[in-house]
Structure 1
Amino acid sequence: MNFIRWNNLIGGYFFKPEHAGKDVHLFMTKGDIIALGKPNMKDDHTDEEVWQNFLWTLRYGLSGSGNVSIFEKALYAAEKWKTSGFRTIESKPQQFPPYISYLVFTVLPLTEVQGDYNSNNYYDRLAEFITVNQIFELTPGRVKKLQNLKNRLREIDCLWDELSQWANHRMNGQLGNFHVISFSHSTWKFVGKPFSQCVLPPKSLKQIPNFFYQSDLVPNTFYRDDIFKRLLLKNGVSLLGLKNSVVELIRKGEKDEIGRSVIGMVRAEFLKWTGEAHDTVLKDGKQREIRKMTVVPLKLQFKLSEDGELIFSYRAKYASEPPSSLKLGEYEDIYENENWSKTLAVGFSESIVLKDLVNKWKALFDVKRIHFFITGSYFNMNNRFWIETDVLSKTERMYMLCKIGIRDIISGWGRESCQSFREELRFKGLPKGYSLFSFLGPKSSHQTLSELTVYDLKEVSIREGTGLRVGYLSYLNRLLPEVEITNADGDETVFIQYADEQEHIILKQHQDLKNIWLLPADLHLYKRFTIQVLGSTIFGSSKAYQLLDSFHEHLDSTDFPKRNRFFSEDELAKDFVMGNQVELSRKINIDGNISYFSSSIKVGDDAQEELEVNGSFLLDWLLAVKDCKINRFYEAFGVVHQHLYPEDNDHIQEKRKASVNLLDYLGFIDFDYRTENIFALPPKLIYVTTDKGRKALLIGCRNKRLIDKMVEYCRKSNGGIRMSIKPQTKSNQLKLIPEAITLESNYEREFKGIAEYCGIGFDDWHILKLKELVPSLGEYVEFMKSNGTTEPWDSNVTTSIFNKDSLKFVPIEEYPKVFTLCEYRPRYAPEYGIWIDNNHFVVDKSWGKYMLLNHNAAKIAGWEPGSEFAKTMELFFNGSNIAIPTSLPFPKLFSRMILQLSGVAPEFKKMNLKGKEVYYNVYRSIPRLFLENFLKKKLNILIESTKQLL
């Protein structure tokens, strides 16, 4: 490979969309470089040949650079790129700065040379690296002379800043952020920059969550730098694999800039730590991570009763998704939002531990000498509560609970430093040995109590929990995000400024919170803007944001994974589903089903009535984001749900999970629970069952513009086709499920016409193709067994088995292995396996449940000799309504077919249909014979009749 090819590979290794907003360090080993380059070499090469090719391209660099040193080659490449306007090299488009590989070269001596050198000895390591790898000067003649680069790092020092400028400003952090640490001491001024890239190598960073866990730290808790220093000196070598030379730099602490930077990096990683710790095990020949424990803090809070009594309680604060089954002590259904639990009504205590050993979570509270409290609205929660926080606010009224022994010290600080300050003696219920103060507007820090630090360094950012984030620094133009300034004074003039424009727009301050500002509704779309503070430059003000709109036209079914009838990705499948497109290798039976989809009874020719169309925030976001992981969906769901239903905070996790599944079954999205990928599906019309004329359902993601255009066509048709909008039930509205939009007409041409007019698809027999694609239970079992047996998870992983009587998974240690469905939780996403005659197979959860029910149920003779139907006594019909236990969802393609018959999500009801109360999903307006025969054929099960209203 040539120099440019190598440089682009290395640039893409560090800077890529997955690293947007994350800090990048130029750490690479010889092994990393070989592994990156080898697959891109034209012919087979040994590892050493790949390595030498990389070094050779560095020595020769760009054509025209002459017989100069490697560092001069780097400067030449930088200049050539600069003169092209940062666009091309040698007349070819160049995405990455052409000197990245040279900066990596400066780090390699620190990763590859293990000699006995002083901790700050860079140049002797560099000389050894040059010698070992025979990096010669490019001089004419036969005399070979090693390059001498001693004391020459100053020559390329500017390139570190240029890379930072490119990553953070030109690329706006969308491929990753690169921060340069500036060193003032002569020892580190130039050599400190390569050192700073590798003091915490990737191997150490991977171990850092376990380092925090083993050190008994609790996330979202304030710790002083000296605590991190002490822990690094104690456990840095054993737990993080740090070199002794690095530990010596840390030991010097304030006396050494590299040592301080290491402590700063560890603190930065701690601020990102979710509290999770994992072990690595070998399963099926692969290394897998399993949960060890998740630790979260309990934050103290209080509210005031009407008679002035302090009522203390707690909330868990978390940064990773808690299991929906989490039970901390006696408290269940604790989830309130993505950061906070609901109130845990535990009385004040100086030490609390709440554990869930099944889910491997624990929440801790250890009393401190000082606790700060701020209004709940600061965290987007109920403002009746005052919730614990770690830092002082200069803008909001706060309370401080402190040990009585430092009461006088704090009183002195408060009177001198704060705008207002008083001891609260009027409240009842104060814990013994404590004092409570209220205060506003602290101006200066306390000299000895580090908790009483007033921070002046400001940062502008988007307020957590606001806005529908589409991508890095990109938001949807609905439910606009709010602007937050950390450590604000409250009197700032905040404005936005569009790129390449002088005019700015002043932002309005939040009515209640003086560190929050609001974006105007009339911002331009697709135009980058920065958020500034008048008269000062603050951290984060160089980030360029933009607002985006939602469109369906860019969605294409061919962009989605191709899945076979068992919903496994399979590029060779002849019968498959791709997004909401179904392809079959054989003809479907239209004649035998046409009576369900067409009626001789005519639809009336009344003109289109007025319809109120509001659109859907969630569908707009899905259209804008196009594809995402499930955690991104949960984030957007939380923002929309909080906006629409601020008083509803029960079972939010279950609602989000149900929302994903229902949106998939109804044809809005494609969701793969194994990879947790979500894809927005393009809109199209499909025929559904009807008792008048013909009816079509709109599936796929849509926006208000599309619906308005469809209404416009209906009005112009003069009764030829009509649209109806049916709201979902209230419980499904809380899950953010959009209305069902159907069209009725007596003429097929009208469906084709409106689809063409609106630029969407019309897939007339989509339902029948789905019906044909769905495999039978027997076919699934054959497919499952064809994948071979697997190892079950061992006893270190929480295991539950499916109980056929309660229809729930129950934790258990010992169980039979003849016919048992198991749920494993090595991390948080569950995995499923089934034991059949002491053989273990990976299984889809829904298929596994019906396999188990079928196996254990009484049987009656089927249609054909030797066939049987299972009487599960779990599924019930009454007229055109069917009730299915919520814990027995149909396999995915079954559910898609059934829900898309009407476009209406099932109603959630608790009923007694078999002698005990059970939660059911009730599907309405389902042709009984159509579905009854389908389930007999595919699942070999009978549906029971009931006289009870469903």
Structure 2
Amino acid sequence: MDYLKWNNSIAAHFFKNEMAGRSVHLYVTEELITDIGQESGADFSDFIQAIKTGLPGAKRKGLCVKALETQENWRRELDYPPYIGYLALFVLAAGIEGDFATHSYYPRLRTLLGEEPTPGQYPSFDRMSKLWEDLEKWSNEDKSGELGIFNSNSVGKRNHIGLPIAQTLLTEKERRALPAIFAAADLDPISYPAEGAIALLLVKHGRKQLRERTLSLLKETRDSDELRQALLEWIIDELRDWDGTAEDSGKTQIYGILRLCCKLDSIAKRATLSLRCSTKHEFPEEDLLLFLEDNSQSFSCYEESGGLSSPLISESDGKPLVGCEFDWLKGLQVRSADSSSTKWCFKLPASPIRVFVNGDTQGLPGIVEVRQLPTQQPFYLAAHEQCLELLTIWGELSCQGFEKLQIIDGLPSGWHLFKAQAACSDELIKDQYPILAFPTNIRLELAGGIRLERGNKFFKFAPPKIFLQGGSESIKVYCNNQLLDSRNSAGNYELPADIPGETKLLIEARSGEDIIKRCSLLLVENYSLPSQSNAQQFDRFGKLQIGDNESAGVAGALVRGVDCPDFNFNTFLPIQGKQRIFYVGKEPGQIAICPAESLPTDWEPVWAISKGRHRGQAMFCGTNLAESQPLISKCKDRKKMREWKEILWYDRKKISPPDRSNLKVLWQHFQKEAERV
């Protein structure tokens, strides 16, 4: 195999469609290189020789100089970056065993190349960071994460050596073992604890699956240890991508977490607690039936939103499961029936302290349990009496507005409820109760929005929100060099509403001039559906149609061989009781009031506004945001023009605007134009 074939084969192993939107690490071993070359009859020595030879026509001498030469203008003709083969070699050197000093890198590299294992920097190796940075740009910006997301993170003080070392912190075997460890440790990919708590859980439940080197790093207690921080960041990436599936005694199970939800009645001094299932896995279409371990009780629920189910309901009497009836110090576990085709298991982890936040962010009433103490925002704590002495001291010294709530009904025996406006420090309590530790790693994450196909492509009308976790006041977030304002002190950011479609966005968290974290995404406004001839079709039973172009079939939104009825806007906002739906177009007079009037055929609605005896709601129903701007024109029908102005301007205080910021701006434009009519 020549160098380019080796390069592309290694690249295709790591960067592929299955890794879309997920973190990629170039963990390369001699075994992997041997497996990749086996199909072509090439071995490990062939790979080393190809690396030394380089690309055909290479003009420069020296390994690192040849590697730099491959970066020049490669995007014009090649599918993969042509320097990945060299980066694979550098990672190989970081992981080989032998009679080397612990932190000795260059003798390892020279040994791989068949050279004398002398110390000292390899010629031009300090310039290799350009290749790692270009790989990050290619995967995140050029490809928008469609083949995976690579971040050029370094560990240690010597940046150029730290880049390949950062790829070796987890072996492939360890990475494959993580789902089972996550399940045993009761970790939730939706709401997970701070890094210190995760490290303790992995040490406890991963002794048999993780290397001694990995366990030693996790046991390290210094938050400043860069290797430990990089390892935990990698593990959290894997946790966030985990859908709850894991092997248990040779059988596949889907694991999730039971989360407490609470409605507080301050007047009655009562807490009403329920339990919901939390999972990243897709819920079944039918209700999920779950049993206690002793099969004494059964409960059901269904998917509601954001990976959360409806409250668990008892099958015997149809009443909600009361959350205070169980011992929170011991936890709780419910499972699906052994006879069910898909095995489910949900756990309420045992803990003497439980953290709650306002449920508004997840569209839920009351407060919802989370696994991490939020920074600079209000929270609630349910604590067992064994924790009260230290908890009270910490609350009074390290929190703002810390107070005990007087709850006389609804909590388990021996438990108390507290409220605080914000936690300012975790120093007094994080060692004793790791669930109250702040995150130590800075993370920049995309949440929500509607993705288009794979990777970080989103529809412009439904962009994601940006969350900065573990940040401080000194860290600012930028979008294409434009400073973003946080919606609140919790590190929640929204993208500017005026960003044009088909624009690649580079999101950066900066501290002064230093870039701490970055990610990228693409907002798509004009999207063409794939042709029916290229799309995989499924029949009405969900079976793949092969070579059948005549029968009725479906592929996503594409339907073939079926006469579909016209879309009925009344199903978009169903009319209830005396409620009316006002369909409003972009020109004065374009208004239809249902159910009294039928929808017009000569204009398209932009807004569907529900209006009853109480407050109304505006919902965008246009086909294209850019083509939905209000357009002032003359209207001969004065009655319709008056109705158009009335619903948009005179009734503006009675109608709730849409939630998304870009739609709010459009709604305000309509109101201003209606005022002028």
TM-score w.r.t. structure 1 length? 0.49
Q: Is the 8 A contact 1:420 1:440 kept in 2?
A: yes
Residue of structure 1 aligned with 2:71, choices 65, 71, 81 = 81
Which residue of structure 1 aligns with residue 274 of structure 2?
313
**CA contact under 8 A between 1:27 and 1:198: conserved in structure 2?**
yes
Instruction: Rate the CA distance shift 1:514–1:3 in 2: closer, same or farther, 3 A.
Output: closer
Q: Which stretch has the larger CA shift, 404-413 or 486-495? A: 486-495
Q: Does 1:107 align with 2:82?
A: no
SS at match of 1:307: coil
Q: Aligned-pair distance for 1:495?
A: 6.6
Q: Is residue 193 of structure 2 the alignment partner of residue 228 of structure 1?
A: no
2:49 corresponds, among 37, 40, 56, to 56
2:558 pairs with 1:681: yes
CA–CA distance in structure 1, aligned partners of residues 427 and 460 of structure 2: 44
- Provide the rounded CA distance (Å) in 2 between the counterparts of 1:482 and 1:226: 26
Name the counterpart of 1:276.
245
Secondary structure at the residue paired with 1:559? coil
The residue that corresponds to 1:209 in the other structure is: 179
Alignment of 1:685-724 (within 5 A): none
Distance (whole Å) between structure 2 residues aligned to residue 455 and residue 229 of structure 1 = 14
Alignment-derived partner of residue 503 in structure 2: 527
1:543 aligns with 2:524: no
Shift of 1:106: 2.8
Distance 1:340 1:150 in 2: 55
Indicate yes or no: 2:534 matched with 1:559: yes
Are the structure 2 counterparts of residues 402 and 152 from structure 1 closer, same or farther at C-alpha, using a change threshold of 3 Å? Answer: same
The amino acid across from 1:184 in the alignment is G
CA contact (8 A) 2:447 2:466 kept: yes
Amino acid corresponding to residue 533 of structure 2 in structure 1: T
Separation (CA, whole Å) in 2 of partners of 1:492 and 1:30: 41
Measure how far apart 1:439 and its partner are: 1.3
User: Are 2:14 and 1:14 equivalent residues in the alignment?
Assistant: yes
Shift in CA distance, 570/337, structure 1 to aligned 2, threshold 3 Å: closer
Structure-2 separation of matches of 1:262 and 1:506? 29
What SS does the aligned partner of 1:371 have? strand
Q: Over residues 531-550 of structure 1, what are the superposed CA-to-partner deviations in whole Å (9 max), with x where a residue is unaligned?
A: 56798679887433332235
SS at match of 1:524: coil
1:386 matched residue in structure 2: 367
* 1:233–1:250 contact (8 Å) kept in structure 2: no
Q: 1:526 Cα shift?
A: 0.5
Shift of 1:125: 5.1
Query: CA offsets, 1:682-729, max 9 Å, x none?
Result: 8x8x797xxxxxxx9789xxxxxxxx9xxxxxxxxxxxxx99x9xxxx
Whether 1:440 and 2:421 are equivalent positions in the alignment is yes
2:335 match: 355
Deviation at 1:20, TM superposition (A): 3.5
Relative distance call for 1:556 and 1:179 in structure 2 (3 A) is closer
Distance in 2 between residues matched to 1:346 and 1:6, nearest whole Å = 60
User: What pairs up with 1:69-218 in 2 under 5 angstroms?
Assistant: 72-79=62-69, 81-82=71-72, 84=73, 87=75, 93-109=77-93, 115=98, 120=103, 122=105, 126=109, 129-130=112-113, 135=114, 146=115, 150-153=119-122, 155-160=124-129, 162-168=131-137, 170-171=141-142, 173-184=145-156, 193-213=163-183
SS at match of 2:272: strand
Deviations 1:329-379 (Å, cap 9, x if unpaired)?
322133222411222322313232222233432222244232221111122
CA 1:249–1:60 in structure 2 vs 1: closer, same or farther (change >3 Å)?
Answer: same
What is the distance in 2 between the residues matched to 1:567 and 1:453?
47
Q: 2:264 corresponds to which residue?
A: 304
Deviation at 1:386, TM superposition (A): 0.8
For each residue in 1:835-876, what CA deviation from the matched residue of structure 2 results, as whole angstroms up to 9, or x when unmatched?
xxxxxxxxxxxxxxxxxxxxxxxxxxxxxxxxxxxxxxxxxx
Indicate conservation of the 8 Å contact 2:70/2:83, yes or no.
no
* SS of 2:304 mapped into structure 1: coil
Report 1:776-791 matches (<5 A): none
Unaligned runs of 5+ in 2: 292-297, 313-320, 568-585, 587-600, 605-620, 622-677
SS of residue matched to 1:269: helix
- How far does residue 76 in structure 1 lie from its aligned partner after superposition? 2.7
Between the two proteins, what is the percent identity of the paired residues? 21
Shift of 1:563: 8.8
- Cα distance, 1:64–1:280 mapped onto 2, change above 3 Å: farther
Is contact 1:302–1:310 with CA below 8 Å preserved after alignment? yes
The higher relative CO (CA closer than 8 Å, separation ≥ 6) is in 2
Runs of 5+ consecutive residues of structure 1 not aligned to the other structure: 136-145, 282-289, 584-664, 671-677, 689-695, 700-707, 709-721, 726-737, 739-950
- In the TM superposition, what are the counterparts of 1:855-870 in structure 2 within 5 Å? none
| Structure 1 vs Structure 2 CA RMSD | 4.6
User: Does the aligned pair in 1 maintain the 2:450–2:459 contact within 8 Å?
Assistant: yes
The answer for the alignment partner of 1:476 in structure 2 is 459
Letter in 1 for 2:166: S
Task: Give the letter for the 1:346 counterpart.
Answer: V
**How far did 1:568 drift?**
7.4
**Do the aligned partners of residues 374 and 61 (structure 1) sit closer, same or farther apart at CA in structure 2, a change above 3 Å counting?**
same
Distance 2:351 2:47 in 1: 55
Displacement of 1:278: 1.7
Residues 1:335 and 2:307 are matched in the alignment: no
Change (3 A) 1:81 1:408: same
- Distance change (3 Å), C-alpha of 1:222 and 1:275: same
Greater Cα offset, 305-314 or 427-436: 427-436
- Whether the 8 Å contact between 1:161 and 1:180 is mirrored in structure 2 is no
Count of residues paired in the alignment: 542
1:192–1:258 contact (8 Å) kept in structure 2: no
State the alpha-carbon separation in 2 of the partners of residues 567 and 422 from structure 1.
55
Change (3 A) 1:446 1:125: closer
Q: 1: CA distance between counterparts of 2:97 and 2:511?
A: 50
Taking structure 1 as reference, are residues 74 and 410 closer, same or farther at Cα in structure 2, changes over 3 Å only? same
**In structure 2, how many angstroms separate the alpha carbons of the residues matched to 1:191 and 1:542?**
21
Larger Cα Rg: Structure 1 or Structure 2?
A: 1
Counterpart of 2:663 in structure 1 is none
Confirm or deny: 8 A CA contact 1:394 1:440 kept in the other structure.
no
Deviations 1:474-513 (A, max 9, x none): 221334444444457899997744xxxx7x5866948xx9
Q: What is the CA–CA distance in structure 1 between the aligned matches of 2:510 and 2:178, rounded to whole Å?
A: 40
Contact 1:215–1:231 under 8 Å retained in 2: yes
Q: Structure 1: how far apart are the matches of 2:197 and 2:562?
A: 68
Counterparts of 1:245 and 1:489, CA distance in 2: 31
Which one-letter code corresponds to 2:131 in the other structure? Answer: E
1:868-879 alignment runs, 5 A limit: none
For residue 81 of structure 1, what is the amino acid of its counterpart?
Answer: Q
Cα distance between partner residues in 2 of 1:443 and 1:117: 45
**Cα offset, 1:160, TM superposition:** 3.9
8 Å CA contact retained: 1:274, 1:320? yes
Rounded Cα–Cα distance in structure 2 between residues aligned with 1:491 and 1:245: 34
CA contact (8 A) 1:394 1:488 kept: no
